[in-house]
Amino acid sequence: MQKGFNSDITVRGKAYHVQTEDWGKDNPYLVTRIFSGGAVQKTIKVHYDEALRGGPIGDASAISLALRRQHMRIVDELVSGKI
């Protein structure tokens, strides 16, 4: 199962590292951190209930898909200037 995603992007001349990880069933959150210059600029923490929208939290493929969606959404928001 995919446990996380990492992307390095440049937005308006500034370099960012975006990291999204699954904290697991014992701590059921998908967490995305945006780094710049080695420091955390923003943290987005989403509970499984919200990320899976009522779906089964034990389904590894659903969690992997939610993890990918969250990562791509945050990257898109960063590129578009929403974050």
The pLDDT, as a whole number, for residue 54 is: 65
Q: Which residues pair with residue 43 across a beta bridge?
A: 33
pLDDT digits (tens, 9 = 90+) for 21-37: 999 989 999 999 999 99
Query: What does the domain layout of the chain look like in residue ranges?
Result: 4-80
Q: Tokens 């995919």 appear where? A: 2
d(CA 4, CA 17): 13
pLDDT category at 83 given cuts 50, 70, 90 is confident
